[in-house]
Structure 1
């Protein structure tokens, strides 16, 4: 299993547990993002984290190529 497959599996399990505990999907996603940032902070600079988050935000549309990709 790839690391992305593992992350998807962990997310699905967390969503199911969150729903059982009465938490909404968006609420849980926000809490998980906070935990991801805490892990990032252990080994990355704030500028590096911000750069990655900006890249992800600029490429949210799955129907468009990433900005750095050539046609």
Structure 2
């Protein structure tokens, strides 16, 4: 199992635990994201973390075409 597969499994387990507590999936995901960013900020420079978050936000659309990609 790779690290990304592990992360997806851990996320699904966390969402199931949140559901058992009566939290919505959206609220749980927002809280988890906030916690991950907070913890990451303890380990990485703020500008590095901000660049990664900006990259992820800019690439949310899976249908988006990029200039370097061929059709």
Q: Which runs of 5+ in 1 are unaligned?
A: none
Match of 1:64, SS? coil
User: Aligned-residue CA RMSD in angstroms?
Assistant: 1.5
1:49 counterpart = 2:49? yes
- 2:16 paired residue number: 16
1:30 counterpart = 2:27? no
Q: Which runs of 5+ in 2 are unaligned?
A: none
Q: C-alpha deviations, 1:27-55, integer Å up to 9, x for none?
A: 11111111111221122111111111110
Q: Could you tell me how far 1:63 is from its partner in structure 2?
A: 2.1
Q: Which consecutive segments of 4 or more residues in structure 1 shift more than 6 A?
A: none
- 1:70 paired residue number: 68
TM-score for the superposition, normalised by structure 1: 0.85
Count of paired positions: 69
